[in-house]
Amino acid sequence: MTIKKRLFLSNLFMLLIPALVSILVVAVSALLFLNLFYKQVMDETVHGENTVHLEHLLVKQAEEFLQTDHEKLSDSTLYQTVEKYIQTQSIQLQIYEGNMQICSMGDREEELADMPLHALSSGNVYVEPVSINDKTYTIYIAFFAPVQESTWNEVVVKYLIVVLAVLIVAAVLVTNRFLTKFVFRKIEQPLDILTSGVHEIRDGNLSYRITYTEKDEFLPICEDFNHMAERLQQSIEQTHREERSRKELIAGISHDLRTPLTSIKAYIEGLIEGIAQTPERQQKYMQTIREKANDIDRMVDKLFLFSKLDLGDNPFYPESIPLAEALHSLLAAYAEEYARQGMNITLDPIPENCTVYADPVQFRNALTNLLENSLKYKDASEVQVHICCTETASDVTISVADNGPGVPEADLPKLFDVFYRSDPSRSNPQKGSGLGLAITAKILERFGGSIRAEHVQPKGLRILLTIPKEGISK
Q: What is the pLDDT of residue 396?
A: 93
Residue 113 near residue 137 (C-beta atoms within 8 A): no
E strands in 57-207: 91-97, 100-105, 124-132, 135-143
* Confidence band, pLDDT 50/70/90 cuts, at residue 343: very high
pLDDT digits (tens, 9 = 90+) for 147-163: 455 555 556 556 766 77
pLDDT digits (tens, 9 = 90+) for 78-97: 666 666 666 556 677 888 88
* Confidence band, pLDDT 50/70/90 cuts, at residue 474: very low
pTM over 0.75: no
* Distant-in-sequence, close-in-space partners of 158: CB < 8 Å, separation ≥ 6: none
Q: What is the pLDDT of residue 64?
A: 80
**Amino acid at the residue 16:** L
Residue 466 near residue 453 (C-beta atoms within 8 A): no
Q: Which residues pair with 468 in a beta bridge?
A: 395
User: Higher pLDDT residue, 199 or 259?
Assistant: 199
pLDDT averaged over every residue in the chain: 78
Would you identify the CATH topology of the domain 217-314? Answer: Helix Hairpins (1.10.287)
Residue 29 near residue 72 (C-beta atoms within 8 A): no
Residue 82 to residue 141: CA distance in whole angstroms: 12
Q: Average pLDDT for residues 114-128, to the nearest whole number? A: 64
**What is the domain partition of the chain in residue ranges?**
217-314, 315-468
Residue 258 to residue 264: CA distance in whole angstroms: 10
Closest CA to 382 of 404, 354, 358: 404
State in words which class domain 315-468 has: alpha beta
Q: Average pLDDT for residues 315-340, to the nearest whole number? A: 89
Examine the pLDDT at 268 and tell me if it is beyond 80.
yes
